[in-house]
Chains A and B, each alone.
Chain A
Amino acid sequence: MTFLLTVERLSKRFGGLHAVADVSLDVTAGEICSVIGPNGAGKTTLFNMISGVLRPSGGRMVFDGVDLSTVSPWRFAAIGIGRTFQNLALFKHGTVVENILTGRHTHLRSNVLNAVLYFGRTRSEEIAARQRVEHIVEFLEIEHIRDAVVGTLSYGQQKRVELARALACEPKLLLLDEMVSGMNQEETEDIARFVLDIRDELGITVLMIEHEMRIVMDISDRVHVLNFGRKIADGTPDEVRRNPAVAEAYLGRQRAEAMKAGA
């Protein structure tokens, strides 16, 4: 089997703290993969390393046959890694369309001189990008807010704009950091549907961090569990659900044993 992303013994230390220690995981192309774990388990740090925001202290990451340690952080988008952020990282003074257009950056070619003239190829590539953005807007059902300034939108809408911006990069691997936190039932179901569509219709592999267990169990093909920076389990949602180590990480040993005895 070929893996889109292979992470081998990855670690990150902040001073004396091992935020991520010896984590290995594989993501197969076409999978929806989840990373779960209690607060402070190192999930976001792991994502930050995979998306080039942080440099690992040790270990290896291979994406699509490329060793990521040889790639400059800003080129991660160009080789096909897109992401959303846990705490919104939108360009808040821009409109929704402008934000999504920024996601097209790596697919456009114009430099400063072309931009000044805005003529010929520069103009036609801008028009093509605008058209592309319109497709994404339609895909994520945000037509009604496309010209709104992002800072004025609700939290759920801003999350959706972030997703749109990440999709505009046309990634091979999409990293979603807690998409549905703070969303109501209906918004959560929308996002679950979009994630499935992103995989099935756009053919993008998804790796997501999620606290909302229902969405994890419903749509993931594989689940990886982190605790205190280490990976403690992986498998299908059912396997992970039955894994005693996972119950222990979430509930503590006594409660986990009590539950087991009860069941």
Chain B
Amino acid sequence: MRTGDYKQTYGELVALIDSPPVWLWSAVLLLALIVAPYALNAYALSFLTIILITVTGALGLNILTGYTGLISLGHVGFLVTGAYAYAVLVSKYHMHPLVGFLGAGVVPAFASLIVGAPSLRLKGLYLAITTLAFSFIINTVILEARWLTNGARGISVQRPEILGISFDGDAAFTHLCLGIAILTLFATLNIRRSRVGRAFVAIRDNDTAARVMGINLHAYKLFAFVTSAFITGISGALYGIYLSFVSVEGFPFLLSIEALAILIVGGLGSALGAVLGAILIVLLPEATRLVFSLFSGQLDATFTTGAQELKSMLYGLVIILFLRFQPRGLVGAWHDVRRTWVHWPLRY
């Protein structure tokens, strides 16, 4: 059995990483992720890229739904707004890609104020339905504003070149996604361990007590919406660049469900959970396809034709299974494993 780490300054108590082994493993993981794009084949690399983009988006939703407890079914609305903001700024008006990314964050953030305003009064299911309506309204607005968005024709997007570095190659683009995912992870972890994050969690757990502690509920709910939409918008821009074509069809409603599934499977309100959940949910359809292809080619073909339908069935299934057997999500399972490991051979 290991003993605990003894801390000698208050600074150590607020540190994100407080033990040398964790530092070491994080460094090893980071190194592996940097090298991976050169080692993996194109097929595996596309999954890594998608996972990184999804992690960014899931971390965005986690701030709103995980931390603050406001359920959003309309996060695909922020994804698509971010993607279009980037596409319009960079492809149509030939602005710098950095301006594009800034726009991809700021435009959804403003849009979120419109959805956020009703959230000050609505709770639970009612809020979920309001956000759901928002995502459909956004789609209609994009289809109708042809002068700006080309309507249903969509906008094609090039891989960007930032500060002289071209992100045209697949490996380079993965590195861009990796960089943004890591920045997002640190941003959410920092929010969580600060006054703002504690206010979010306080609102989720007990809003009356939160107000008595001096937390301005209206302001902080809007902060949660804006921060969440900003991050989700950036993720949307990356997804648009990855697809190299931004259109309303590229962002189906299923993505909203996928995002919620990620949080539930990973463990609500945990950044680590969002990361683990994103990995599982992105790989799940592929893993299932591989398993099925072992049995017969017929099933494999079904998978290709009805991919969307099968995906939504799979998401539904894992959500139910996790809620029933592991409600704390993957992160809960991880904590149990870690506790067993630390206390072994004692039981507690």
CB neighbours of A116 from chain B (8 A): 187, 190-191
Instruction: Report chain A residues within 8 Å CB of B214.
Output: 74-78, 105-106, 169
Interface majority SS on B: helix, strand, loop or mixed? helix
- Contact at B209–A112, with CB atoms within 8 Å? no
**Is A172 part of the contact surface with B, judged by Cβ < 8 Å?**
no
Q: Mark A108-139, 1 if CB is under 8 A from B, else 0.
A: 11111011111000110011101100100000
**Contact in complex: A91, B202 (CB < 8 Å):** yes
Q: Which residues of B contact A115 (CB under 8 A)?
A: 190-191, 194-197
- For residue B336, CB closer than 8 A to chain A, the reply is no
List residues of chain B with CB within 8 A of the CB of A92: 205-206
Q: Does the CB pair A73–B211 fall under 8 Å?
A: yes
Q: Which residues of B contact A103 (CB under 8 A)?
A: 213
Task: Determine which residue in B191, B194, B196, B269 has the highest number of CB atoms from chain A within 10 A of its CB, and name it.
Answer: B194
> A145-180: which residues lie under 8 A (CB-CB) from chain B?
165, 169
Asked whether any CB of chain A lies closer than 8 Å to the CB of B198, the reply is: yes
B242 within 8 A of A: no
Interface string of A13-53 (1 = CB under 8 A from B): 00000000000000000000000000000000000000111
Instruction: State whether the Cβ of B314 lies closer than 8 Å to any Cβ in chain A.
Output: no
Interface presence of A85 (CB below 8 A): yes
Give the complex CA separation of A114 and B196 in angstroms.
Answer: 10
B188 to chain A, nearest CB (A): 9
Given A53-B208, A112-B227, the answer on whether A77 and B201 have CB atoms closer than 8 Å is no
B212 within 8 A of A: yes
At the interface with chain B, which of A93-101, A191-199, A232-240, A243-251? Answer: A93-101
In the docked arrangement, what's the CA distance between A102 and B203, Å? 11
Q: Is there a chain B Cβ closer than 8 Å to A83's Cβ?
A: yes
In the complex, whether A90 has a CB less than 8 A from a CB of chain B is yes
Residues of B within 8 A of A165 (CB): 213
A258 at the interface (CB under 8 A from B): no
Given A90-B206, A93-B269, A52:B195 Cβ within 8 A: no
Interface residues of B in 223-240 (CB under 8 A from A): 223, 226-227
Contacting residue for B14 out of A104, A106, A126, CB 8 A: A126
Do A98 and B198 form a contact, CB below 8 Å, given A115-B190, A116-B190, A169-B213? yes
User: Does A263 have its Cβ within 8 Å of any Cβ on chain B?
Assistant: no
Q: Is A89 an interface residue (CB 8 A)?
A: yes
A108 to B217, CA, bound (A): 16
B193 within 8 A of A: yes
Given contact pairs A94-B201, A116-B187, A130-B13, A53 touches B212 in the complex (Cβ within 8 A)? yes
* A131 surroundings in chain B (CB, below 8 A): 10
A127-B14 contact, Cβ under 8 Å, with A74-B214, A89-B209 = yes
Q: Is B106 close to A, CB under 8 A? A: no
Write the nearest CB–CB distance from B23 to chain A, whole angstroms: 17
By secondary structure, the A interface counts as: helix
B-side interface residues, number (CB < 8 Å): 32
Contact between B194 and A53, CB atoms less than 8 A apart:
no
Tell me how far the C-beta of B182 lies from the nearest C-beta in chain A, rounded to whole angstroms: 13
Interface membership of chain A positions 193-235, coded 1 if the CB is closer than 8 angstroms to chain B and 0 otherwise? 0000000000000000000000000000000000000000000
Asked if B211 and A126 sit within 8 Å, CB to CB, the answer is no
Cβ contact within 8 Å between A105 and B215: yes
B194's closest neighbor in chain A, by CB? A115
Picked from B191, B194, B210, the residue with its CB within 8 Å of the CB of A126 is B194
A85 contacts across to B, CB distance below 8 A: 208-209
Residues of chain A lying within 8 A (CB to CB) of residue B260: none
A-contact bits for B241-255, CB 8 A (1 contact / 0 none): 000000000000000
Q: Which B residues lie within 8 Å of A134 (CB)?
A: 10
| CB closest chain-B residue, reference A89 | B209
Q: With A and B bound together, what is the CA distance between A112 and B220 in angstroms? A: 10
B255-280 residues at the A interface, CB under 8 angstroms: 269
B11 touches A105 (CB 8 A): no
- The minimal Cβ–Cβ distance linking A83 to chain B, given in whole angstroms, is 6
- How long is the Cα–Cα vector from A89 to B212 in the complex, in angstroms? 10
| A110 proximity list for chain B (CB < 8 A) | 194-196
B11:A127 contact, CB within 8 angstroms: yes
In the bound assembly, the distance between CA atoms of A74 and B216 in angstroms comes to 5
**Given A53-B211, A165-B213, CB of A91 within 8 Å of CB of B194:** no
26 contacts between A and B (CB under 8 A): A52-B211, A53-B208, A53-B211, A76-B212, A77-B213, A78-B214, A85-B209, A90-B209, A91-B201, A91-B209, A93-B201, A94-B201, A103-B213, A105-B215, A106-B214, A109-B195, A112-B191, A116-B190, A126-B194, A126-B195, A127-B10, A127-B11, A127-B13, A128-B10, A130-B14, A169-B214
A-B contact sample (13 more), CB < 8 A, given A89-B208, A115-B195, A169-B214: A73-B211, A75-B214, A85-B209, A90-B209, A91-B202, A91-B206, A91-B210, A98-B198, A98-B201, A105-B215, A112-B196, A115-B197, A127-B11
Q: Which residues of A contact B (CB under 8 A)?
A: 51-53, 72-78, 82-83, 85, 89-94, 98, 101-106, 108-112, 114-118, 122-123, 126-128, 130-131, 134, 165, 169
Residues of B within 8 A of A (CB): 10-11, 13-14, 187, 190-191, 193-199, 201-202, 205-206, 208-217, 223, 226-227, 269
Nearest 5 A-B pairs (CB), nearest first?
A77-B214, A106-B214, A115-B194, A118-B190, A89-B209
